[in-house]
Amino acid sequence: MHPGLGVGAKRAILAAWVSDACAVENLPTWRKLPGTGALVALDDILDALRALDGRALH
């Protein structure tokens, strides 16, 4: 993500990517990023959220 984005903006983007709206049909642990079509593992997105939060998600 762009280094100029604040934590809140980064969190909002990652949260949108975690949503089912970005889920890949028949591949529930993957997300397709809007605008790019890139596939990203759900665990990688959750790890990024954890890093922003500085804590584990439950």
Question: What's the rounded Cα separation, in Å, for the pair 32 and 23?
Answer: 6
The pLDDT value given to residue 55 = 60
Q: Are residues 30 and 41 in contact, defined by beta-carbon separation less than 8 angstroms?
A: yes
pLDDT, mean of residues 23-37: 92
Q: Does the model's pTM come out above 0.85?
A: no
Q: Which band of pLDDT confidence, cut at 50, 70 and 90, is reported for residue 58?
A: very low
> Which helix H or strand E contains 30, and what residues bound it?
strand 27-32
